[in-house]
Structure 1
Amino acid sequence: MWLVVDLVLVGIFAVIGRLSHYGTLTAGGWWTTAWPFLAGTLVAWAALTATRRAPAAFTSGIVVWIGALVGGMLLRHASGQGTATSFVVVATLVLGALLVLPRVVPRVGARVRR
Structure 2
Amino acid sequence: MTAQLSPSPKPLTVALAFACDAALLLVFAGLGRSSHARDASVWGLFETAWPFLAGLAIMWLVTRAHRRPLAVLRTGVPLWIGTVALGMALRLLTGSGAALAFVMVATITVAVFLLGWRAIAALVLRLRRRAG
For the aligned residue pairs, the C-alpha RMSD in angstroms reads: 2.2
Secondary structure (helix, strand or coil) at the match of 1:80 reads coil
Q: 1:39-90 CA distances to partner (integer Å, 9 max, x unpaired)?
A: 00000001122x8843661121112111210010000000000200000000
TM-score, length-normalised on structure 1?
0.86
Displacement after TM superposition at 1:23 (Å): 5.2
Aligned length: 113
Distance change (3 Å), C-alpha of 1:35 and 1:46: same
Q: Distance in 1 between matches of 2:43 and 2:70?
A: 35
Secondary structure (helix, strand or coil) at the match of 1:105 reads helix
Whichever of the two has the greater Rg, that structure is 2
Structure 2 runs not aligned, ≥5 long: 1-15
Distance change (3 Å), C-alpha of 1:56 and 1:13: closer
Structure 1 runs not aligned, ≥5 long: none
Greater relative contact order (CA < 8 Å, ≥ 6 in sequence): 2
Q: Which runs of 4+ in 1 moved over 6 A?
A: none
Distance change (3 Å), C-alpha of 1:24 and 1:74: same
Q: Distance in 1 between matches of 2:34 and 2:19?
A: 23
Higher helix share: 1
% identical aligned pairs = 37
TM-score, length-normalised on structure 2?
0.75
